[in-house]
Amino acid sequence: MPTRLIDVGHDTSDVSRLVLSSNIGNSEQIKYAALSYCWGGEKDAESQFKTEKVSLEHRFVGLPSELMTPTTKDAILLARAIGLRYLWIDALCIVQDDEDDWLHESSQMDLVYRHAFVTFCSLNSDSCHESFLNRAPAVRVPFQSTIRKATKGSYLIGLRSRTGVYMNRGDYDWDLALSKWNKRCWTFQEKEMSTPDGLKEMKLPVAGLN
């Protein structure tokens, strides 16, 4: 078990907070999710909602939602939606300005991801300040055939990077191929450390998570 986890509670009426895994009864049986995501650039990393020495005790009391980045909010929402009470996010579960704590916890990363029940991978966001649940909508363009009047409908058009031709790919394959997440060293090892059963595509209706 990781040293610290986030107790997300059961619904939005519960206040999320840090907990010590050693204080959770039957911790060997606890299922938790781990988050793999990109912090973003230097400015995004600096403004990331995280745990530091001065805020550690406050994090055990509660995690203020108004301070959370969109990625943190989404991960908590998703954990609740699939019925998991505990979540691991590096920025919050590791004391970022404590060198000893960081060295100890980072050395356990393989265990954190290997023993996670599921790993959430934020493929379509490049920063902790971007939501991975509230995706930018595609533009719907009406179509009416000038040859056959009965033929009509609409196209959905979305922006994609010009990085080659991708045919017959699903949403997951597109996100993976074009994401910065798939090109970062940290996230690469997090992907490799996660078990095949723990790292999987989860197709959940976003509307049902609100």
Count structural domains, the chain.
Answer: 1
Higher pLDDT among residues 41 and 158, named by residue: 41
What is the chain's mean pLDDT, rounded?
Answer: 80
Q: Is the pLDDT of residue 18 over 70?
A: yes
Q: Is the pLDDT of residue 166 over 70?
A: no
Q: Could you read off the pLDDT of 98-146 as tens digits, one per residue?
A: 999 999 998 888 889 888 999 888 777 778 888 888 766 667 788 888 8
Q: Is the pLDDT of residue 163 over 50?
A: yes
What is the four-CA torsion angle of 41, 44, 47, 48, rounded to 10 degrees?
-100
Q: Is the pLDDT of residue 8 over 90?
A: yes
**H/E/C letters for each residue in the chain?**
CCCEEEECCCCCCCCCEEEEHHHCCCHHHCCEEEEECCCCCHHHHHCCCCECHHHHHHHHHCCCHHHCCHHHHHHHHHHHHCCCCEEECHHHHCECCCHHHHHHHHCCHHHHHHCCCEEEECCCCCCCCCCCCCCCCCEEEEEECCCCCCCEEEEEECCCCCCCCCCCCCHHHHHHHHCCHHHCHHHHHHHHHCCCCCCCCCCCCHHHHC
Task: Check if the beta carbon of residue 16 is closer than 8 Å to that of residue 6.
Answer: yes
Task: Check if the beta carbon of residue 180 is closer than 8 Å to that of residue 38.
Answer: yes
Q: Is the pLDDT of residue 165 over 60?
A: no
Q: Is the pLDDT of residue 52 over 90?
A: yes
Banded model confidence at residue 206, pLDDT cuts 50, 70, 90: very low
The amino acid occupying position 189 is Q
Q: Could you read off the pLDDT of 53-99 as tens digits, one per residue?
A: 999 999 999 999 999 999 999 999 999 999 999 999 999 999 999 99
Banded model confidence at residue 11, pLDDT cuts 50, 70, 90: confident
Task: Check if the beta carbon of residue 177 is closer than 8 Å to that of residue 166.
Answer: yes
If you search the block for the tokens 């991801």, which residue do you land on?
113
pLDDT at 28: 61
If you search the block for the tokens 């300005």, which residue do you land on?
97
Would you state the structure tokens that stand for residue 48, as one six-digit string?
């990331």
Banded model confidence at residue 205, pLDDT cuts 50, 70, 90: very low
- Print the domain residue range for 121: 4-209
Which of 56, 75, 71 has its CA nearest to residue 18? 56
Q: Is the pLDDT of residue 199 over 50?
A: no
Q: Is the pLDDT of residue 180 over 80?
A: no
pLDDT at 158: 65
Cα 18 from Cα 56, distance rounded (Å): 9
pLDDT at 105: 92
